[in-house]
Structure 1
Amino acid sequence: MNKNKNIFALLDQEGPFRVEAEPDGPRLFSPRSRQWLRDLQAAGLVAKYRVTRNQLFELLGIRGFDEISALLADPERRAVVEQRAYTLLGNMFGLAGNQREIIARINSYSRIADGVINYLRAKVLANYASYIEMTNEIDSTRSPIDLLLIIFDPRYHRKARFEAKRKLILMNLAGTIDQRERETAVEQKFLRFLGFLNDQVWSRKAKIGELEIVYLLSRHHPESFACLEVEVKGREQLPATTGPNQKITMIKRRFFPWRGREIPVYVSIRKKPPEAKVLKLLRKGEENPAVAVDDELGLMAVVDSTLEVKIFQQHLTESAGRAGSLLTLEDLSDTLGGGDHQSASPGSSPQTEMCKFFARMGGMRVEFIVHTNRSFLNYIYQRGVSHDEYEVKRIFDSGVARLLFPSDIYEIDISEKREALLRWFRCRIEEI
């Protein structure tokens, strides 16, 4: 989907929907209004403007922009409008329950919207957190109507009005994700997936959640920091100090049974949180989570060798059969034995080594990423490949950093900080 024609066009500070210094509504026949209309036509966004305007008027219960100032000055009318808006939004997102429950659910979308920004401030853009901090009044506002009216309220600074609009758009994405999760019963599927792993996949000789702690002692290339060799050690076998280009990485492993053996495997299981799904929609420029988010359920496994990768795949197939379901592998990509990693994701490196596939079983579609110890260490440490670097690159290369933190709103051109952040993450990866 062309992100220039969908909801993200409303957020673009370089487009016709940019937030200006003053929130002047469209004025018929004024030079500014005529120029704005030409910009709208040039961007092919006239239809998007009409749809958005009609939605705004319906939510506010007005017929024109000139009624907004009266609404801003009338607290009693605003309260009535707000209650009606919650009902309209609740019906749009298919929410069940009484009015209080619907309001609480919609307000929870504001926490997800704030969580998207706070995640970027705390991790990927942590070095510039003070520059991109949210205005207190916007951070504490949950009501969609209050946020919508702030956009048109001349008492608020331009930055606050931009952040109100940004929060509304992120809340809308959170609502579509929540609706999708309820329609597809993701929470129930995640619990079923955990049950399948515990009942059929992992060893019965260990208690649920019982893990073996081991350490990967690895030596890395001085230039690429790719893993050259790795050994599995117990705590008592570790050297007192590490040498140049050496790393010690702790992992906690489970076991799965195979032909009378117990094969160790490090496992990370996750259900992608709403904040991560919102970011994925932003990166892909896609409003529909059914299209953009295909990895809601996932598992990453790390085994000792490529042979054990194949054994693990076969064990999964047999385990699903014991559970009464055929298991089929879809979109299989295996670069553990060489070859370039093919990915449409911005920032992804062709040097990434992994075995990736989707397993369809028991009414679920689960993403599996399987590593050897060596490829897992490359996933953590290798220059140009490491996941920390990938997180930085995909936020910048997809345009999300520029979209969420435009330079004319914030006192920083965040898009110019890509290389500095990559250097900082490299330093942290290699020195810690």
Structure 2
Amino acid sequence: MSVLSSNSVFTSLLQNGPFTVTKEIKHNGHFSAQTRQWVKCLQQDPNNRTKYRALRGQLFEFLAVNNIEEIDELMVNSALRQQRSERAFHLLGNMFGLEGNLNEIKDRVDEYARTADEVIHSIKGKILAPFASYIESTNEIEVINNPVELLIIMFNGKYHQKARFEARRKIILMTLAGSIDQRERETEIKNKFSEFLSFLNGYVWSPNLTIGEYAPVFLHSKHNLDDYYCNEVNVVPPHKIKSIEPAPGEKLTLIKRRSFTVGKKKIPIYVSIRKKPQAAKVLKLLRKNEKNPGIAVDDELGLMGVLDSFSDIKTFQQHLTHSASKANSLMVLEDISDTLIDDSQYGGTATGSSDKTSMMKFFARLGGMRVEFIIHTNKTWLNYMFQHDVAHNEYEVKRMFDSGVIELLFPNDIFHLEHDKARDEMIKFFRKQV
């Protein structure tokens, strides 16, 4: 189900739906032509009627008002606004299971607001970097973290349409950030990430290595000039790099590799270990059209490994299983997909993914954790970095646009961003960087 569909769980943010942020606010005219037309539109979809009643009830309860007109008093009465804000923080604290006094709850809600801002900053800094001036946030909204203040702005005609939309958007993103934080506290993800790193350092990597030790090497690769598909790759030690002058279609890529030991053989591996940041989790909820992080975010812990050959990959899998046993845990591999051997089609179902992508992907359940592993050879990793239609930067652009998230967060009538044109230009932009 598309995030832009009439059944989207983010209906309240859709600019082409019943909750459109209009240029002017006219909530006082109960029987105006505009109000009658809006009611007529709302009545056409029973689902939207139900959503409207639910949202209105939540809004009134949160602000402790009985109707929209009472919000006008909150706009001008700062003492009353302060009182309602303190009440609202306690309500949020109970909803998200936050412990502590009022100031501690405020601090946590401030974190949710910073995550909401970071969602927009992350898009502006990468996916839409050349269009940053189009999507820059309104200063007045960015500095406000109080959800009551943001809700009141949504009904304040003194604020521009863009500012009112951004206030609504920030509230929704803050709510998603709160749900993610609650989920992380319930699953103790921070502790599990620390335990995962301890498992790798204690049982997986070569015992003679110090923690964080790596050996730098260069990948000397040759690519097709039309799509930058990697045809050949060789590992070059740093002391030999001066003798290589890359020709057109050739690249030198630095990687820093750890190693693991099987018997007397030491096998090098480039590793990227990550705990998915809060802003990335919020974006994943949006892409999946889902508000429950327990359903949508299944890859909180992840490891990407790059090895020299497929035989090394098989050895690494066996080594992981044996290492888990030494750590007194069975390791079970789940949801395995493998397109490394014969370049068979990936068959990924994620929006924006390419069937040209070659990788091994699986989840490993061990030690009370479920960790996503993505494994590459040197060749498939270089394709993952540089090949047209496969490169991760392109994939990020496609999944953000094709899922409807960019249009949801930056509707054209407010931000004047032509989405199809921007999508194509960003793909060209990342290809030029290669």
Pick from 37, 42, 47 the counterpart of residue 44 of structure 2.
42
Match of 2:295 in 1: 291
Give the distance between the partners of 2:108 and 2:99, measured in 1 at CA: 10
The question of 1:214 aligning with 2:217 is answered: yes
Matches within 5 A, 1:22-421: 22-25=24-27, 27-43=29-45, 44-238=47-241, 239-337=243-341, 338-421=343-426
Instruction: State whether residues 110 and 171 of structure 1, in contact with CA within 8 Å, keep that contact through their aligned partners in structure 2.
Output: yes
Alpha-carbon RMSD = 1.2
Helix, strand or coil at the partner of 1:131: helix
Task: Verify the 8 A CA contact 2:179 2:293 in the aligned structure 1.
Answer: yes
**TM-superposed deviation, 1:6:** 4.9
Give me the identity figure in percent.
51
Distance 1:330 1:288, change over 3 A: same
Offset, 1:73: 1.1
Letter in structure 2 aligned against 1:126: A
Q: Distance in 2 between matches of 1:228 and 1:296?
A: 33
Instruction: Please report the TM-score for the alignment, with normalisation by the length of structure 2.
Output: 0.97
Output one character per residue of 1:163-194: Cα deviation in whole Å (capped at 9) or x when no partner. Answer: 00000000000000000000010000000000
Amino acid paired to 2:297 = V
Distance, in Å, in 1 between the alignment partners of 2:100 and 2:8 is 31
Deviations 1:311-339 (A, max 9, x none): 11111011001111110000000000121
Note the C-alpha offset of 1:399: 0.5
Q: Could you give the per-residue CA deviations for residues 264-283 of structure 1, whole angstroms, max 9, x where no partner exists?
A: 00000000000000000011
Where 1:123 maps in the other structure, the secondary structure is helix
1:427 corresponds to 2:432:
yes
Q: CA deviation at 1:162?
A: 0.4
Which residue of 2 is the match for residue 9 of structure 1?
11
Amino acid at match of 1:341: Y
Q: Is the Cα contact below 8 Å between 1:6 and 1:287 reproduced in 2? A: no
Please give the TM-score of this superposition, normalised by the length of structure 1.
0.97
CA distance in 2, matches of 1:2, 1:244: 42
| 1:31 to partner: Cα distance | 2.7
Q: Distance in 2 between matches of 1:153 and 1:199?
A: 57
Equivalent pair of 2:2/2:404 in contact (CA under 8 Å): no
Q: CA deviation at 1:309?
A: 0.9
Greater shift, 413-422 or 108-117, is seen at 413-422
CA distance in 2 between counterparts of 1:319 and 1:38 reads 64
Gaps of 5+ in 1: none
CA contact (8 A) 2:28 2:69 kept: no
Specify the SS of the correspondent of 2:374.
strand
Is the contact between residue 23 and residue 151 of structure 1 (CA under 8 Å) also seen in structure 2? no
1: CA distance between counterparts of 2:417 and 2:359?
37
- The CA deviation string for residues 288-323 of structure 1, in whole angstroms up to 9 with x for no partner, is 100100000000000000111111111101100111
> CA offset at residue 146 of structure 1?
0.6
1:330 corresponds to which letter in structure 2?
Answer: E
Residue identity matched to 1:366? V
Secondary structure of residue in 1 paired with 2:133: coil
- C-alpha contact 1:6 1:48 (8 A) present in aligned 2: no
- Gapped regions of structure 2 (runs ≥ 5): none
Aligned equivalents of 1:95, 1:183: Cα separation in 2:
11
Letter in 2 for 1:115: E
Tell me by how many angstroms 1:2 deviates.
6.5
CA contact 1:26–1:33 (8 Å) conserved in 2: no
Give secondary structure in 1 for the equivalent of 2:414.
coil
Q: Relative to structure 1, is the Cα distance of residues 50 and 2 closer, same or farther in structure 2, using a 3 angstrom cutoff?
A: farther
Question: What SS is found at the alignment partner of 1:365?
Answer: strand
User: Is the CA contact 1:230–1:373 (under 8 Å) kept in the aligned structure 2?
Assistant: yes
- Output one character per residue of 1:26-71: Cα deviation in whole Å (capped at 9) or x when no partner: 7434332222123223343111111111111011110001111111
Q: 1: distance between equivalents of 2:53 and 2:368?
A: 40
Q: Distance in 2 between matches of 1:416 and 1:369?
A: 32
Separation in 2, partners of 1:55, 1:407: 28
